[in-house]
Amino acid sequence: MGKKPISEADKRMEELVSLCRRRGFIFQSSLIYGGINSCWDYGPMGVELKNNIKRCWWKTMTQERDDIEGLDASIIMHPRVWEASGHVAGFTDPLVDCKKCRRRFREDEFDGDKCPDCGGALTEARQFNLMFKTFMGPVEEEASIVYLRPETAQGIYVNFQNVLGPSRQKVPFGIAQIGKAFRNEITPGNFVFRMREFEQMEMQYFVRPDTADEWFEVWKEKRMQWYLDLGVNKDKLRFHEHGTDELAHYAAKAYDIEYEFPFGWKELEGIHNRTDFDLQRHQEHSGKDLSYYDQERKERYVPFIVETSAGVDRSLLTFLADAYEVENPGEKNERTVLRLSPKLAPIKAAILPLVNRDGMPEIGHKIADELRPHLKIFYDGGGSVGRRYRRQDEAGTPFGITIDSQTLEDETVTLRERDSMAQERIKIAALKDELLKRTAI
């Protein structure tokens, strides 16, 4: 079979991947050894962007609300957690092999009973558990099998009573957590969209059972608004409601927030009404009481849970794909620009002396030193100023500060805004407050 022709969407994705590598956002893991499938490393720019995304989420969830507490639970948990959650028995994908070309597929990925690549015959489907197994302690025996968590949610459920007591919260309240999760996906892919090691931002909101539908609607809207507030194009976001055939075993209702990636509409975040399934199961399996006594209503119940489950890596890919633009392609004034929200941009401002003499570099370094404790700054002294601007546009840096001959006379600099390329003159003394105002999370 010949190579498929490259579509516009594939091309756009390739350009984005190439930009990510070139500018130090994302590298393939272990590349000097040929790479490892579906594992990616975040470079200097990538880690800043990722940290800013997590900071924004954490602030929205925990700092701006008094009804949500934070948690950072262990990745390795008691193996019985995964029996109670249903993952040991049910977190599986049906796997088939092609007898001819030996490729492996998820049976539910394609129609028909022939290999989608070569047309060869397929084996019977086998259920393949997606959890990574490892051993705790020095003896590799059955008793010491543990799992790398496939979701962060369970760490929250098993800590429900631990958090409730010290925090003095009352239902309704939530617990938020950011952390790594691991799934041995049969067919990972699409860059950082589906990885075997990934990071989640999950919030579990505990509510009185008869109020779960109301809270579901509240969280659905709030989570969509979060992406809009961070500048994601409204036309590329939508809700997708899970039909009864798509619903997970624990969910009574589920909506995905989807984004239109170059490779199609895909799930970005899930909002789920998980009912009391999880707490009931942990109650049964642990023998511990996980009910809640409502003082005001004088009643006892096991809370329902409304979950908002977002992927850090998927959010990052969304923000990048949405921000990426090539202006005037093929023309003399072609410009590649990442229109990232200033809150998310890895570098907040670049400092560019117009020429490397007349005391301009000294002033530039002095400004950089003054700003560094407050903002991520990049000093660039070399090459034409136009080219230096372009490099920063491509990295998503929202502001450029240029020191020119007028600076020497009146202690002002030009402040250039990335998207409009508009320039204004501003006093050096006012820079810090102005930049903080425009970039603060």
**Residues at the contact surface with Zn ion, assessed by CB under 5 A:** 98, 100-101, 115, 117-118, 120
For residues 313 and 195, is the Cβ–Cβ distance under 8 A?
yes
> Whole-angstrom Cα distance, residue 192 to residue 176?
23
CB of 4 to Zn ion, least distance (A): 16
- Is the separation of the CB atoms in 112 and 120 below 8 Å? no
Question: What residues pair up with 305 in beta bridges, in sequence order?
Answer: 206
Q: Nearest distance from residue 110's CB to Zn ion, in Å?
A: 11
Least Å from the CB of residue 118 to Zn ion: 3
Q: How far is the CB of 6 from Zn ion (least distance, A)?
A: 23
**Which one, 101 or 436, has the nearer CB to Zn ion?**
101
Q: Which region, left, alpha or beta, applies to residue 24 given φ > 0 means left and ψ of -120 to 50 means alpha?
A: left
State which residue, 96 or 290, has the beta carbon closest to Zn ion: 96
Smallest separation (angstroms) from Zn ion to the CB of 5: 21
- With 0-12 / 13-18 / 19 or more C-beta atoms within 10 angstroms meaning exposed / middle / buried, residue 77 is middle
Distance CA 58, CA 238 (A): 23
Closest CB to Zn ion among residues 110, 132: 110
Contacts from 331-334 at CB under 8 Å and sequence distance 24+? none
Residue among 115 and 377 whose Cβ is closer to Zn ion: 115
Nearest distance from residue 129's CB to Zn ion, in Å? 24
Q: Show the DSSP H helices in 207-328 as ranges.
A: 212-229, 277-286, 312-323
CB closer to Zn ion, 100 vs 222: 100
71 or 98, CB closer to Zn ion?
A: 98
Beta bridge partners of 97: 104
